[in-house]
């Protein structure tokens, strides 16, 4: 990885893309510190402290601290992620969307992108309205009123639109997937807080603690093993051998190649965890925005809220936590299968192999090949789904101890996944540059 980065810095074109990406990241981080107009900073600080340990903590981690400051980037890129999920789900039931998604080419991608952006703005407006009405009764606004409401709501919606634009620019002109990079930067910006937490374990109020040292070392070793496992599984792949028959065209012979189809163990990557997290936290977010007075009181909405935030806090009963963990696990498994089969079609792969005169040794072309690939894909998907579920569920156990760290399983999956994807894009950029220079000579 370090060799790839070193080579990238030596290549002018790639270096410019890295610099461009870095500038947009700096803009994102600066925006996280720009509070929306009309907010009393002291009242906001006390309000956020009282909300520590709830859903606010999870949102604040993803936003890189922007939500606790009620900055213009408070809603982060979550409306865009939610709209992407909705569009992909709608594509399963609306034929025109499905056609645009799978067969539309550049035009189809542009249409899907347009619909996603429009839906993002609608969701951002709804969320911004909810945030304002939720906090209007807490006294954090200096002069609550119509003008303040319009200013705050427009600032929040504009912030989401700017983030969407930044992500698109990074994808098109920079390095990596822009939306993933923004989430990645938001999460790792909490790394100093995690380091301070570990330091406080070692050096407490009464001095250096032996138990704290052992605990900190255990956390560090566990994190290394955790990250190593994630990297190993995300890089591992099952290779299906494919042979292409020899063809005689005129006086020349073509084909006769031996290749393979690489199927990754975790083909869906971190997306199922992001989808599941969004679905699990959505009820709590809506209740906290539109019915905050119901939280803490007996009733269905409070029960739904406690169930929904059990993923992100330990301040709930074991019953809610257990139910939340089970539903969370089922959602991750379901989204893993959905996302895998939405991006990889065994029948299409089988048809392409047959049309190009290829075959899998020992397997007949056509439906038997499709069934064979589907069988292997199903087993790999089950493994990937269980792996993602364990990674997402196990770190929840630390919330029932005295250890409170900013990074959970979802955060580590996102960070590692985005880092690997970005390095791979760097390598591909370097390979393209190498071949381009060779051809120019």
- pLDDT for 57 equals 55
Note the pTM of the prediction, 2 decimals: 0.75
In angstroms, the CA 189 to CA 195 distance is: 11
Count of alpha carbons within 13 angstroms of residue 420, beta-carbon side = 17
User: 357: helix, coil or strand?
Assistant: coil
Cβ proximity of 358 and 245 under 8 Å: yes
Q: The tokens 């620019």 sit on which residue? A: 169
- Cα separations (Å) of 275 from 12, 39, 299, 312, 332? 37, 32, 27, 15, 8
Q: What is the pLDDT of residue 158?
A: 94
Q: What is the DSSP letter of 39?
A: B
Cα(412)–Cα(113) distance, integer angstroms? 28
Q: Which of 397, 226, 406, 223 is nearest to 310 (CA)?
A: 397
Distance CA 325, CA 384 (A): 18
pLDDT of residue 166: 93
pLDDT of residue 132: 83
Copy the structure tokens of residue 298: 């007996």
Residue 334: other Cβ atoms inside 10 A: 15
Beta strands per DSSP E along 207-351 = 207-208, 237-244, 247-249, 252-254, 258-264
Could you tell me where the beta strands, DSSP code E, fall in 58-102? none
Q: Which positions ≥6 away from 331 have C-beta within 8 Å? A: 272, 275, 276, 279, 280
CA Rg value for the chain: 25
Q: What pLDDT is attached to residue 162? A: 94
Rounded to the nearest 10 degrees, how much is the dihedral formed by the CA atoms of 184, 425, 28, 56?
-20
In whole angstroms, give the CA distance from residue 380 to residue 33: 43
Residue among 73, 62, 68 nearest 32 (CA) = 73
Start-to-end CA span in the chain (Å): 28
- Residue 153 CA: distances (Å) to CA of 128, 137, 335: 5, 16, 32
**pLDDT tens track of the chain, all 441 residues?**
567 677 777 777 888 888 999 999 999 999 888 888 888 777 777 766 655 444 555 566 666 666 667 888 888 888 888 888 788 778 778 887 777 776 656 777 788 888 899 999 999 998 888 788 777 777 788 887 888 889 989 999 999 999 999 999 998 888 888 888 888 888 888 788 778 878 887 887 677 778 888 888 888 888 888 788 888 888 888 889 988 776 655 666 555 678 888 888 888 877 787 778 777 777 877 776 677 677 767 778 888 877 777 655 555 667 777 787 888 888 889 888 888 887 788 888 888 888 877 888 888 888 889 999 999 999 999 988 888 888 777 766 655 555 554 456 667 777 887 888 888 788 777 776 655 444 444
């Amino acid at each position: 990885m370090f060799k790839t980065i070193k080579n990238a810095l030596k290549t002018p074109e790639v270096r410019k893309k890295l610099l461009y990406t870095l500038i947009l990241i700096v803009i994102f981080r600066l925006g996280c510190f720009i509070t929306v107009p009309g907010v009393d900073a002291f009242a906001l600080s006390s309000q956020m402290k009282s909300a520590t340990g709830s859903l606010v903590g999870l949102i604040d981690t993803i936003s890189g601290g922007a939500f606790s400051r009620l900055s213009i980037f408070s809603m982060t890129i979550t409306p865009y992620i939610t709209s992407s999920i909705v569009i992909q789900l709608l594509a399963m039931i609306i034929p025109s969307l499905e056609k645009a998604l799978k067969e539309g080419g550049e035009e189809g991608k542009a249409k899907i992108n347009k619909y996603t952006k429009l839906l993002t703005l609608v969701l951002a407006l709804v969320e911004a309205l909810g945030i304002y009405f939720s906090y209007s009764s807490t006294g954090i606004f200096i002069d609550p009123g119509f003008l303040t409401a319009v200013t705050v709501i427009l600032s929040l919606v504009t912030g989401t639109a700017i983030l969407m634009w930044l992500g698109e620019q990074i994808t098109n002109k920079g390095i990596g997937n822009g939306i993933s990079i923004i989430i990645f930067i938001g999460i790792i910006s909490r790394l100093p807080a995690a380091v301070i937490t570990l330091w406080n374990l070692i050096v407490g109020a009464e001095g250096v603690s032996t138990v704290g040292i052992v605990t900190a070392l255990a956390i560090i070793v566990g994190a290394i093993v955790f990250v190593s496992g994630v990297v190993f599984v995300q890089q591992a792949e099952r290779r299906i051998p494919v042979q292409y028959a020899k063809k005689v065209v005129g006086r020349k012979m073509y084909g006769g190649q031996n290749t393979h189809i690489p199927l990754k163990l975790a083909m869906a990557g971190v997306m199922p965890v992001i989808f599941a997290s969004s679905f699990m936290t959505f009820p709590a977010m809506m209740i906290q925005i539109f019915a905050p007075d119901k939280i803490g009181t007996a009733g269905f909405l409070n029960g739904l809220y406690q169930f929904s935030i059990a993923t992100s806090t330990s301040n709930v009963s074991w019953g809610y936590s257990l139910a939340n963990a089970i539903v969370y696990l089922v959602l991750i498994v379901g989204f893993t299968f959905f996302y895998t089969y939405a991006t990889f079609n065994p029948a299409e792969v089988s048809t392409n192999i047959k049309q190009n005169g290829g075959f899998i040794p020992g397997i007949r072309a056509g439906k038997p090949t499709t069934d064979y690939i589907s069988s292997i894909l199903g087993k790999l998907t089950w493994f990937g789904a269980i792996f993602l579920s364990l990674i997402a569920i196990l770190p929840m156990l630390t919330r029932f101890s005295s250890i409170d760290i900013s990074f959970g399983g979802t955060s580590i999956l996102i960070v590692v996944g985005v880092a690997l994807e970005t390095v791979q894009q760097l390598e591909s950029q370097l390979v393209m540059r190498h071949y381009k220079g060779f051809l120019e000579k």
